[in-house]
A = this chain, B = another copy of it.
Amino acid sequence: MNIIKDNIFAKVKNDLEDIEDALENNLKRHFDIVDKISRYIIFSGGKRIRSLVVLLSARICGYKGDDDKVCSIIFEFLHTATLLHDDLVDDASTRRGKPAANLVWGNSEAVLVGDYLLSQSLAIAAKTKKYALITNIAEITEAMSLGELLQLQYKGKIDLSEEIYMDIIWRKTAVLFQGACRAGAIIADASDEKTEALAEYGQNIGLAFQMADDLLDYISSSETLGKKAGADLREGKVTLPVIYAYKTAVPKEKAIIRKIILNKDFSLKDFNILTELLRKNNGITYTEKLANGYVTNAKNAISIFKDSETKKILEDIADFVILRKT
């Protein structure tokens, strides 16, 4: 994994610096509390994948200007706003190894700074005077809020279907990646064909990304993750590894899985039993297989572009989203 990661990051070093500069420049002139909370999350080790694919999508469509830099931070702002609201919704205690922002500053502050960042995303989009981009942002924010509401509706429901799980992760995660890639193409005034190819790439890496994220809860140690093992389950999030394993398990195992999941204060021992049952019933391998499929779809989607370094980086990013450990 590290080879791919280092390989990508070496190639996009300048882009990442441009993104950091744009973020810094857009976080300078606000209220103290807005700056503090925004920075707490924005500069806490995010991988900038969303903003990076904006730049790369614009570049693969031949764009040579500078609008892509400022536009790319829309997606960091939207992402941060969502994290602020989600941590409150999920009642999360930690985020990337640090206490969740709402626990440090309060729910009210987290909600309002989230609202502020949403307004900034819109303001940046409005400045581009590109209707397609503005509509894109409206659609993304709509999908993300509905995705979170859908997730909330199915909180703690162990018999969640794979179909609904896919609908949730599409709305809450994949739409933002899809929108980021589409935004890059829009800035480059790309053809509809290229725009949709990149949107499809983005949607697929988004789905793979979320599945990998959901897997991490069962295959990574809590030290690496920066949050407690089984955090998703404690928040009532039933994800694909569980959905699939529960469906294929024999009645006796089903009962054990159900019992552990319905008890939010499960012990580490319980959690290890559960993880073992997920493995035995192919919950892990099935999710990995599906995530791999979306990575392949993503690469296929951009096959219409001729080979280039930018295309190679986009392909590497597709590989990276399922190989990351945090």
- Which residues of A are interface residues toward B (Cβ below 8 A)? 30-31, 33-34, 85, 88-89, 107-109, 111-116, 118-120, 122-123, 126-127, 129, 131, 134-135, 137-139, 141-142, 144-146, 148-150, 152-153
Contact = CB atoms under 8 A, between A and B. Distances in A.
B119 A149 contact: no
A112 B85 contact: yes
Given A34-B149, A119-B142, A145-B116, A111 B134 contact: no
A118 B145 CA distance: 10
Contact of A142 (B111, B116, B146, B153): B116
A123 B139 CA distance: 7
Given A31-B149, A34-B146, A126-B134, A107 B88 contact: yes
Contacts of A150: 31
Contacts of A142: 116, 119-120, 123
A85 B111 contact: yes
A134 to B, nearest CB: 5
Contact of A141 (B118, B129, B153): B118
Nearest to A105: B152
A153 B112 CA distance: 12
A131 B135 CA distance: 12
B119 A145 contact: yes
